Chains A and B, each alone.
Chain A
Amino acid sequence: MSAADNKLVFERIVRPHFDRLFRLAWRLAGSKADAEDLFQELLIRAYDLLDDLVSIDQPGPWLCRVMYNLFVDERRRFARQRMHTVEEGCLAGEGLAGLPGPDDPDYDSQRIETLQRLDRALDQLSDEHRLVVLLHDTEGYKLTEIQDLTGLPVGTIKSRLHRARARLRDILTADGTIS
């Protein structure tokens, strides 16, 4: 195939999964800047592996696994240890930037505040607990999908899920967000 054909084939396979992969990258890396890096690394790696990719029945889970492995392999680079930059005023709740602002008729100050507190509480979890709880409870991954992604036994995932929720409850109870 020509280079142009390769690009077309590659795009047809990977583009339908972009949103899910980007969200996974963000959940893994914990920030937008690192998510963009991780997403980019994945595309470079996947394009290198195009010959393998075209023969895979379900490229979505395969791409997620490649991304997870990239993250684990380069954890020191991606695992929330890097310096990144944010615009002034955007530090808390970086992922909340898309919510309605005060000028929006759908603006709900109480909901925004609750989500900002949740964001800060999530930031206090370990990477392992935060990832599991976000994938399962926010992104809607099944336990078996998290198992396929991480290679962890379902029992371990359940345990982390339970502990993560308990820790969140402790933090959010202490700051008065929930009773």
Chain B
Amino acid sequence: MQNDDMNEQDQDDPQIRALLKDYPMPQADAGFYDQAFARATLISSRRQWLMAGFGSAVAAGLAVWLIGAQFMTVPNIPDVDSTIPGVTVVLEEPRTVNLVFSSATPLDSATLTVSLPDGIELAGFPGQREISWETSLKEGRNLLPLKLIALTPVGGELLARLEHDNRNRVFRLRVDVS
């Protein structure tokens, strides 16, 4: 798309504008759009189905309670939680996963605690489900490489809790095992 509002903005710093114009446009991965579309219609339909089911249940009252065990089942649609980032690791094969924390300001003496799901270990910390250490974050992106090893094919959710100045934030990462 060409920018056609020719005004004083276009006289401002042509060198910087030329650099920005050359800055690449992000592209989605192949297949992402199709997956996102399928998920959106599935989740929305499931939500509508559940709402309709709930409405029927309220309307039918006691009868529904009586037959509920038999009929009030949710269709077998896989759960999709698109809000949690995820990684896939291979069973018993160490994989380095880089966690990136973006911080608007430098944070000194922050405490980072990583809680691992059952069956996932951090290389060098055998048998430990929770590892905690003090760290400092610089402004911008901070990289934390974690070498994960899956000992069982179950997977689960890894939690990273960052605490600083009596405030904390918990980040979640889904770990799947293939």
Contact = CB atoms under 8 A, between A and B. Distances in A.
B140 interface: yes
A73 B104 CA distance: 19
B9 A143 contact: yes
Interface residues of A, number: 71
B85 A84 contact: yes
Contacts of B143: 91
Interface string B17-31: 101111111111000
A83 B161 CA distance: 10
Nearest to B80: A40
Contacts of B139: 124
Interface of B is mostly: mixed
A109 interface: no
A103 B155 CA distance: 37
Nearest to B160: A83
Contacts, number: 164
A140 B19 contact: no
B20 A134 contact: yes
28 contacts: A11-B37, A22-B26, A22-B27, A31-B102, A32-B26, A35-B26, A37-B83, A40-B36, A43-B40, A44-B39, A47-B40, A82-B102, A85-B173, A86-B98, A86-B100, A91-B98, A91-B100, A91-B143, A114-B19, A115-B22, A118-B23, A120-B140, A137-B17, A141-B1, A158-B9, A161-B9, A172-B19, A178-B19
